[in-house]
Amino acid sequence: MSTCSICMELVGAIDSRGNVGQLVSTECKHIYHEACLSRWMKRSPTCPECKAEQKCKPVRLRPEVQNLEDHLLPHDLDTVAGLLAEIADVEKASGKIEAQIESVETTSESLAEECRCGEMRLENLRGCLRRTKRERQTAEEKVYTVEHDMQMKLEELRQMQDAVKMDMPLREPRSEMRQLRDNIVNNRNIDVLIRAVEVEWKQLLDTYRQPGGDLESLTMQLNELEEELQEARTKCRRSPVGKRKRVGLTAHERVMKRGLERQLSRGAEAEEDQSVLQRMRTLVSGGKENQSSQSNGAVLKRHATRVVDPSQSAGSVKDSVVVAAPLPKLKRTATEASSDPCPLEDLLGDLLEIMFHKEKEERTR
């Protein structure tokens, strides 16, 4: 038995499927498998062995035996047995597949029936939906009609109510009734107040009928308050803060009084600056000078307020105490007497005089 020079297999051998490959012959009488030669001819139209050009199609060869099993039985029994076993397996598998196909067909038929039932239910639901929509539209139209009728009725009722209010003659007596009720309530309140006033009046009469006891109690309370006030004043005077306040206040009053006296006693305005310089030099050297000059009362009164005792006359200026706008307090110790002379007081008086005269000159300009 020859071999195919293309696939190098036996010519006429049975493949894995149990089939014999178709054989063909070329013009040069070489035999090949049809499939192998067709692949070769696609690449090159020549014979694979002799390289002769092939102008015609290859010729198919038919087998001489009619029964392939009788032809192969004496040659390859094992192959035939294997093929028969494979055929049996294939038949079993095909039977299983046919059974599966039948079950699938049955399932598909049942599913188709369910699908038809579902379509019928869907169609019924669609019909119900259409009917529901029509009913809803009808109900909405009815609601709109009812609302319109209600609006008309309400409008008629309002008109009737307005007409009744306009034609009702009993409204004025009702307002009068309310006023009467209010008056009754007010009268009741007045009665309560009158009773309370009567009770208070009786209490006052009872208290005035016993004047002795009330006077004694008031006198005792007054004495207690005077004692408490005296103790508070004593504590304030003994405290260092109170002493400093008293010393500062007396020094401030003394400065303002001395400044006013100098204004009244001085006569010449041109000697003010020199007197201040001399006073400062005197302070440095430890000496002290007393000078007098004439004052301008109108200017000083604009910067200071006189506190005069009511028993004195309005024209007495020398005995009055001058309280001016806030000035720096003179620092004294708590033990220092307020009557001691202080050189800073004289200096402050001179400075006040200069300030008053400068303001006067600016106003005259």
Instruction: Kindly report each contact of residues 300-303 with a partner whose C-beta sits within 8 Å and lies 24 or more positions away, as own/partner.
Output: 300/259, 300/260, 300/263, 300/356, 303/352, 303/356
214 domain residue, yes or no: no
228 domain residue, yes or no: no
CATH number of the domain within which 6 lies: 3.30.40.10
The domain of 151 spans 76-168
Nearest by Cα to 50 from 68, 30, 34, 35: 30
36 domain residue, yes or no: yes
Let me know whether 333 and 314 are in one domain: yes
Among the candidates 73, 107, 128, a domain finishes at 73
264 domain residue, yes or no: yes
Let me know whether 355 and 244 are in one domain: yes
Let me know whether 95 and 204 are in one domain: no
Instruction: For 17, list phi and psi in degrees, rounded to 5.
Output: -90, -5
Let me know whether 300 and 339 are in one domain: yes
- A 10 A CB-CB count for 53 gives 11
Query: Cβ(94)–Cβ(87) under 8 Å?
Result: no
Let me know whether 260 and 350 are in one domain: yes
220 domain residue, yes or no: no
Strands lying side by side in the sheet with 59-61 = 31-33, 23-25, 59-61
Query: Cβ(1)–Cβ(12) under 8 Å?
Result: yes
202 domain residue, yes or no: yes
Let me know whether 65 and 80 are in one domain: no
- A 10 A CB-CB count for 76 gives 13
Among the candidates 141, 168, 195, a domain finishes at 168
Let me know whether 60 and 159 are in one domain: no
- A 10 A CB-CB count for 357 gives 17
∠ CA 342-343-348, rounded to 5°: 105
Let me know whether 136 and 243 are in one domain: no
Q: Which residue has the tokens 């019924």?
A: 124
Full pLDDT tens readout for the chain, 365 residues: 577 888 877 776 666 665 667 788 888 888 888 888 888 888 888 888 888 888 888 888 776 544 444 554 455 677 778 888 888 898 888 889 989 999 999 999 999 999 999 999 999 999 999 999 999 999 999 989 888 888 898 888 888 888 777 765 545 556 666 777 777 777 677 767 777 777 776 776 666 555 555 567 767 777 777 777 777 767 666 655 555 555 555 555 666 666 666 666 655 444 555 554 555 555 545 443 443 333 444 433 444 433 333 344 334 433 433 333 444 444 444 344 444 445 555 556 666 677 677 777 777 76
Q: Which amino acid is at 9?
A: E
- pTM (2 d.p.): 0.23
Q: Which residues pair with 60 in a beta bridge?
A: 24
DSSP 3-state of 266:
coil
65 domain residue, yes or no: yes
Let me know whether 48 and 68 are in one domain: yes
Let me know whether 57 and 116 are in one domain: no
Q: Which residue has the tokens 């910067």?
A: 303
Domains in the chain, number: 4
- What token pair was written down for 4? 């195919």
**Rounded to an integer, what distance in angstroms lies between the CA atom of residue 37 and that of residue 30?**
11
Let me know whether 22 and 36 are in one domain: yes
Give Cα 324 to chain centroid, integer Å. Answer: 58
Name the burial class of residue 54, with classes exposed (0-12), middle (13-18) and buried (19+) by CB atoms within 10 angstroms of its CB: middle
DSSP H stretches of helix in the chain = 34-43, 68-72, 77-167, 171-209, 211-238, 240-265, 272-285, 297-303, 343-364
Let me know whether 81 and 141 are in one domain: yes
215 domain residue, yes or no: no
